[in-house]
């Protein structure tokens, strides 16, 4: 470890624009690591909730109640047709004003939803709107006749959805879902705008303090995202392979 740190200390002596400061200075290193960890947490939480929103939304879109369908449609239109960054600012600065606060010590006023909380909510709803449409396309790809077969065997509407339509729809949806989730992971960088200490936020503080660390830190951000998205895509592809049905087109 000491040798590696020494190598990068020497590197900046020889090439002043290539200051890999977080390779030898513990404070900066801590920033980078906590930034990466925050990005991972943010991504996992948003992936999870956006998929849940997608499933629930797609199920509600098939509702017999026109008002329910209209609400889902309105949600999709709003979140799909407006920029995610604006949504994030709106959630944090506008809605954040109205959330209740609590006081841990009698002086401070701390809102019950933190900026991290708002980032998760906002980005989940943003990606969720796309997921609803993705799952809807998958659901529509399940032939009506397959549904009829289930209902003629006595399945209820909910059972037909859960055991027949949904498992088939997921398989159809996976490639498009894959795409959207990749975008979601990258969109988490916008949480920077409401001071969520994720990787980009931490990186900017580093290169503001140490302009000589600009190139190496930008390089780091690219590499981290390439790896994170790579892991996501690999696991999604593995899931796709695992779900493949022998003799079936998908």
Partner 1 sequence: MVSWTEKDPIVSIKDVHKSFGALEVLKGVSLDVMKGEVICIIGPSGSGKSTLIRCINALNDIQGGSIHVRGIDLTDPHLNKLELRKKVGMVFQQYNLFPHKTAIENVMMAPLLVLKEDENEVRARARDLMKKVRLEEKENAYPGELSGGQQQRVAIARSLAMSPDIMLFDEVTAALDPETVKEVLVTIKDLAQDGMTCILVTHEMGFAREIADHIYFTDNGVIVEHGPPETFFTKAKDPRTKDFLSQIL
Nearer Cβ to partner 1 (141/229)? 141
152 binding partner 1? (CB under 8 A): yes
Q: What is the total count of residues that contact partner 1 (CB under 8 A)?
A: 23
In this structure, what DSSP letter does residue 109 have?
Answer: -
Report if residue 239 touches partner 1, rule: CB under 8 A: no
User: Smallest distance from the beta carbon of 157 to partner 1, in angstroms?
Assistant: 11
Can you list the alpha helix ranges (DSSP code H) found in 188-248?
199-209, 214-243
Selected range binding partner 1 among 88-96, 162-170, 187-195, 231-239, rule: CB under 8 A: 162-170
Interface residue with partner 1 among 2, 102, 107, 248 (CB under 8 A) is 248
Of 132, 125, 126, 128, residue with least CA distance to 83: 126
Nearer to partner 1 by C-beta: 82 or 146? 146
9: left (phi over 0), alpha (psi -120 to 50) or beta: alpha
Pick the closest to residue 50 from 114, 118, 120, 117 (CA basis): 120
Residue environment code for 63-100, b if the CB has 16+ CB neighbours within 10 A, otherwise e: eeeeeeeeebeebbeebeeeebbebbbebbeeebeeee
We find the least distance from the C-beta atom of residue 143 to partner 1, in angstroms, to be 8
Q: Does 139 contact partner 1 by CB under 8 A?
A: no
Confirm or reject binding of residue 168 to partner 1 (CB under 8 A): yes
Contact 51, 232 (CB under 8 A): no
Min dist. Cβ of residue 168 to partner 1 (A): 6
User: From the list 33, 52, 86, 153, which residue makes contact with partner 1 (rule: CB under 8 A)?
Assistant: 153
Residue of 63, 82, 151, 208 that binds partner 1 (CB under 8 A) = 151
Is 154 an interacting residue with respect to partner 1 (CB under 8 A)? yes
Is residue 220 within 8 Å of residue 19, measured between CB atoms? no
135 binds partner 1 (CB under 8 A): no
Residue 103 binds partner 1 (CB under 8 A): no
Burial of 200 (0-12, 13-18, 19+ CB in 10 A): buried
CB of 53 to partner 1, least distance (A): 24
Q: What SS3 state is found at 210?
A: coil
Q: Is 106 in the site for partner 1 (CB under 8 A)?
A: no
* CB neighbour class for 122 (10 Å; exposed up to 12, middle 13-18, buried from 19): buried
Q: Is 242 in the site for partner 1 (CB under 8 A)?
A: no
Q: Which of 93, 163, 222, 239 binds partner 1 (CB under 8 A)?
A: 163
Tokens 């900026």 correspond to 115
Task: State the minimum distance, in angstroms, from the CB of residue 60 to partner 1.
Answer: 22
Interface residues toward partner 1, by CB under 8 A: 143, 145-146, 148-156, 159, 163-164, 167-168, 171, 245-249
């Amino acid at each position: 470890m000491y040798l590696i740190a020494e190598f990068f200390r020497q590197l900046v002596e020889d090439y002043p624009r290539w200051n890999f400061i977080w390779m030898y200075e513990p404070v900066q290193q801590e920033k980078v690591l906590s930034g990466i960890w925050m990005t991972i947490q943010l991504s996992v939480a948003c992936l999870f909730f956006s998929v849940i929103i997608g499933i629930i939304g797609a199920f509600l879109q098939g509702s017999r109640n026109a008002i329910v369908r209209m609400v889902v449609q309105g949600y999709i239109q709003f979140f799909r047709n407006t920029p995610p960054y604006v949504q994030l600012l709106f959630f944090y600065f506008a809605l954040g004003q109205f959330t209740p606060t609590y006081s841990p010590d009698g002086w401070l006023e701390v809102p019950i939803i933190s900026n991290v909380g708002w980032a998760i909510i906002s980005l989940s709803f943003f990606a969720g709107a796309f997921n609803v449409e993705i799952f809807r396309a998958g659901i529509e790809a399940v032939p009506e006749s397959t549904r009829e077969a289930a209902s003629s065997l006595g399945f209820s509407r909910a059972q037909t959805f859960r055991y027949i339509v949904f498992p088939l729809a997921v398989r159809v949806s996976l490639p498009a879902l894959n795409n959207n989730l990749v975008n979601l992971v990258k969109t988490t960088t916008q949480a920077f705008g409401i001071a969520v200490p994720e990787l980009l936020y931490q990186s900017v503080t580093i290169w503001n303090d140490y302009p000589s660390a600009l190139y190496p830190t930008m390089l780091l951000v690219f590499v981290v995202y390439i790896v994170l998205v790579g892991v996501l895509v690999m696991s999604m592809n593995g899931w796709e392979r695992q779900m493949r049905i022998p003799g079936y087109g998908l």
